[in-house]
Structure 1
Amino acid sequence: MNEPKTTPKISQAMVEAYDEYTHLTLDRRSFMDKLTKLAGSGAAAAIIAPMLAANSARAAIVAADDKRLRTKDVVFSGPAGDIKGYRAKLADVSGKLPAVIIIHENRGLNDHIRDVARRIALEGFVALAPDLLSTAGGTPSDEEKARDMIGALDPNAAIAEGVATIEYLKKDNGTNGKVGVVGFCWGGGVVNDLAVNSPDLGAGVAYYGRQPKAEDVAKIKAPLLLHYAGLDTRINAGIDAYKKALDDNGKTYEIYVYDGANHAFNNDTSEARYDKKAADLAWTRTIAFFKKNLS
């Protein structure tokens, strides 16, 4: 009789090793070597690695063919060429709606981010998720290649394309001219950059995003909502300096740190790092924040 298989336990050290691999300098082979040592065997590491990563096969929270929505792929002009994106809005609303841009993680515009756009659209917004890898050829299906492409992007070019997306939605006949932006991981850092660089931004929500330089905070006009994961020591190292700069410059902001949650806690396709309690609370705060500032 076969013994029942058990799922290996995922430790915080394993999560941190994955974070080092996806955001810093650890390569795939070194990551797997480290994970094998932490897991105790190569077999256990092989089971754990996909649990740490995002799984594109996991079901969407809002189906792609949800009849409540109208969705479509769009193309609009950017400073260096066409920008592709995914747009969603309520099907039964004809009036002008506030708009929200969704900035993807370092995996590019994938099905999870499209799902997030649909979730936001159901809340009464015109949602647009741009592919900030458009001018580099677009988001590939291979997420490791996408990470490499994101790493090779000129940060200033990404900011310029984000600003162009804000301007595109601000002038769109289907919007009320007010545009917010929400971003996750790499995209959270882009949200902070857009707050610095776009006086037309109506509201910004950054999930565990890299902070801007303190000397640039004075340029921020938009109110900000900043979500951080309690266990995310890499990103959280910049919170105090950012908070001081926001306070010193009299900016409007809210900061929440979700105890016990890991970086990427909102991403429900990542089994090991998703934290439903933190994600649900942050989402409620995010939607309320946009409704307050964009309506």
Structure 2
Amino acid sequence: MQIRLTADDGHAFSAWEAGNPDAPHALVVVQEIFGVNPNIRHVADTFAAQGFSVLAPALFDRAEQDVELGYTQEEVKKGQALRAAIPLKDTLADLRACAAHFRRHAPHRKVGIIGFCWGGTLAWDAATETRDFSVAVGWYGGGIAARKDAVPHCPVQLHFGGQDSSISHMDVAAIRAAHPEIDVYVYDDAGHGFGNGDRPGFNEDANRLAWERSMAFLEAGLHTKGNIPDRG
């Protein structure tokens, strides 16, 4: 269901809430450049089914309310424009508000973060620029290479498609070289957006393996258990 949250700077925004709000383990699911659309709600609901308390914040609310985009070229351009209109510090304020909301329900529980595309980069930023999260997972975050020298404050796991035309092999190699302690996975036959079942680039095998690895990593970081559902 939709709820309203407020960041420290007074900005009010919506978020998709899934699962038991009082579950012992909490997770922020961070959108692509298409808003909190059916795919992101599906991801949130999937994690909720595994016993997580989940929030998927509507990060575009700072630029335009209630944005849900599809995957045409025009919608891609709109999503890119909305992303560019929001400073990183403001987006991080919204992510921190999600962590604060979780901890109001259970002050000592751990909070994880997982993001896709823009959200994959934001998961990295949340891990390096804040201390609000205990574990972070990023899928095909195109901005990570540019900020590879930042130091994470929590364990991080990253996933990339080997056929991703927007994230070069050199970028992935640079991230690995800067952070040999981080598990960086590349799926050779997968392109950008390989984990989104609503996009033409969905790759079932890569998605399945990346889900398994992500869930195991989150289980280790947040001390929860769960099976990996089918996705497609």
- TM bin (shorter chain): 0.7 to 0.9
The alignment status of 1:88 with 2:13, answered yes or no, reads: no
| Distance change (3 Å), C-alpha of 1:105 and 1:142 | closer
The alignment status of 1:240 with 2:176, answered yes or no, reads: no
2:105 maps to 172
> Does the Cα contact within 8 Å between 1:98 and 1:176 map onto a contact in 2?
no
Q: How does 1:25-36 map to 2 (within 5 A)?
A: none
Q: Which letter maps to 2:174?
A: A
Q: How does 1:180-259 map to 2 (within 5 A)?
A: 180-209=112-141, 210-211=143-144, 213-217=147-151, 220-236=152-168, 237-247=170-180, 251=181, 253-259=182-188
1:80: how far off?
Answer: 4.3
| Distance change (3 Å), C-alpha of 1:76 and 1:231 | same
4+ runs deviating over 3 angstroms: none
2:230 maps to none
Q: Can you give the 5+ residue segments of structure 1 that lack an aligned partner in the other structure?
A: 1-71
The CA distance in 2 between the partners of 1:294 and 1:256, in whole Å, is: 21
1:254: how far off?
Answer: 1.2
TM-score scaled by length of structure 1: 0.67
Q: Which letter maps to 1:164?
A: A
2:190 maps to 261
The CA distance in 1 between the partners of 2:216 and 2:136, in whole Å, is: 12
2:41 maps to 114
The CA distance in 2 between the partners of 1:153 and 1:292, in whole Å, is: 33
Which of 97, 104, 113 in structure 1 is aligned with 2:31?
A: 104
1:149: how far off?
Answer: 1.5
Which of 50, 56, 63 in structure 2 is aligned with 1:136?
A: 63
1:288: how far off?
Answer: 1.2
* Deviates most, 205-214 or 276-285: 205-214
1:76: how far off?
Answer: 1.2
Q: Can you give the 5+ residue segments of structure 2 that lack an aligned partner in the other structure?
A: 224-232
1:230: how far off?
Answer: 0.7
Q: Which letter maps to 1:140?
A: V
The CA distance in 2 between the partners of 1:260 and 1:112, in whole Å, is: 22
The CA distance in 1 between the partners of 2:160 and 2:69, in whole Å, is: 27
* Deviates most, 77-86 or 137-146: 137-146
1:142: how far off?
Answer: 4.7
1:283 maps to 211
CA RMSD across the alignment? 2.0
1:176: how far off?
Answer: 5.5
Q: Which letter maps to 2:113?
A: V
* Deviates most, 182-191 or 228-237: 228-237
> Does the Cα contact within 8 Å between 2:35 and 2:68 map onto a contact in 1?
no
The CA distance in 2 between the partners of 1:285 and 1:216, in whole Å, is: 23
Identity across matched positions, percent: 29
2:51 maps to 124
1:133: how far off?
Answer: 1.2
The CA distance in 2 between the partners of 1:116 and 1:155, in whole Å, is: 23
Q: Which letter maps to 1:153?
A: I
The CA distance in 1 between the partners of 2:31 and 2:49, in whole Å, is: 19
Which structure's relative contact order is higher, taking Cα pairs within 8 Å and 6+ residues apart?
Answer: 2
TM-score scaled by length of structure 2: 0.84
1:16 maps to none
2:227 maps to none
